[in-house]
Amino acid sequence: MRPRLVLLALPGLLWFLFGALPAVAQSGNVTTVEGPGSGETTTLTAEPHMLADGLSARAFGISAPDTTRWGLRLIGADEQSPIQLLQDGDSLPILEVQRPADDEVGPTSVYFGQEAFLLMAQTSTVALRVGDTRATPPEALRREMRQIFETVTDE
C-alpha cells in the first residue's frame, strides 16, 4: 500500500519542486550589497538578462548618503560601440558611460537619471542601442528595475 501511495504522490511532489522553483528564482534575482564606495549600497539584478545575441544586462541602483545613481551594466558591449537610449526614435539622456580600461575585461556601466531609469522600467517603448544592435529590455528586467527603484528609494 505504501509504495503505491508514494508513486501516486511523486508527480505532485516533482511538480511542486521543479514547477515552483523558477518563479521563486526569478523574484529572488534582485540583491543588495555593500559598496562600491564607503557608505554606499548597491541593489542590482544578480543574474543578467539577455538583450540581444551576445549582449546582456544587469540593472543597478547605488544609494549613497548624498546621491543616488541608476544604470545598466552591459555584458558583451564592444568597447568602441556608441551607446544610445531611445524612445520612439528620440534620444534620451545618458549621464555617463564607463568602459573597462584597455588592459581590463568587464562590463560597460551606463548611468541614467532617475527619470530615464524609471521610464525604461515602466514601458517597452524605450530601447537601448549599442553599436548596430537595438534592444528593448525584456519584461523580467523591467520588473526587476522597478523593484530596484522601490528598494533604493525606501532606504
For residue 15, what are the CA distances in angstroms to 19, 23, 68? 5, 13, 42
Q: Work out whether strand 96-98 and strand 108-112 pair parallel, antiparallel, or are unpaired.
A: antiparallel
List the pLDDT tens digit at each of the 155 positions of the chain. 444 433 344 444 333 334 433 332 234 899 999 998 899 999 999 999 999 999 999 999 999 999 999 999 999 998 888 999 999 889 999 999 999 888 888 899 999 999 999 999 999 999 999 999 999 999 999 999 999 999 999 86
* Residue-range domain boundaries for the chain: 30-154
Q: Is 101 helix (H, G, I), strand (E, B) or coil?
A: coil
Query: What share of residues in the chain are helix, strand, coil (percent, to 5)?
Result: 35, 35, 30
Query: Amino acid letter at 15?
Result: W
Question: DSSP letters along 33-69, please?
Answer: EE-SSTT-EEEEESS-EEEETTEEEEEEEEE-SS-EE
Which CATH fold would you assign to the domain 30-154? Immunoglobulin-like (2.60.40)
